[in-house]
Amino acid sequence: MMHGKGLDWWGAYEPFHIMLNDYRVADIVITSHAQSRYADRVSREGDAGVEPAAFLWQCLKQNRIKPYLQSKYNAYLIDEDTVVIAEFKELEGVTSLSGRPLHVMVIVSFLGRISATPQLRDLQGYFSRLRNSRRMKLMKKRRKRR
């Protein structure tokens, strides 16, 4: 959990959050899968010590995260290049001063950089190719076992 880490609290009584679409993001959680994908596909040579959560907070604060075209995948684009899959969960018992719910941004996966993987421009095609390649591998394994 990153709740408030590396950030100066704006006020003692005001819950800290950043708007992203209709979500009031108050925390970022990164799955272990996303952590490994960040190391493999996103971090650059000079970023060795940069935490993915700190990177995402920075991007959120600077308004560098935008919804990706095909929103049915919960995909977001960082700096017009990095594709991230995120889900939002409501924080229990915590609201903004106006009484609206705050959310946790759960990073499910870092798909990678469009500049390095141009296939990410068409997410639907990208996911269907992934499914087909996995299906073919499973079919080949089944044939070998028989």
In a domain, 64, yes or no: yes
Residues 134 and 67: their CA atoms lie apart, in Å, by: 27
- 28 has a pLDDT exceeding 90: yes
Residue 79, CA distances (Å) to 8, 64, 67 in order: 24, 6, 11
pLDDT at 31: 94
For residue 62, pLDDT beyond 60? yes
Query: Could you tell me if residue 30 is inside a domain?
Result: yes
Residue 141, burial from CB neighbour count under 10 angstroms (0-12, 13-18, 19+): exposed
With cut-offs at 50, 70 and 90, classify the pLDDT of residue 47: low
Number of structural domains (the chain) is: 1
Whether 77 is in a domain gets the answer yes
The verdict on residue 66 lying in a domain is: yes
Look over the chain and give the mean of its residue pLDDT values, rounded to a whole number. Answer: 83
The CATH number that applies at residue 75 is: 3.30.2310
Indicate yes or no: pTM above 0.85.
no
Task: Note down the domain range covering 110.
Answer: 18-116
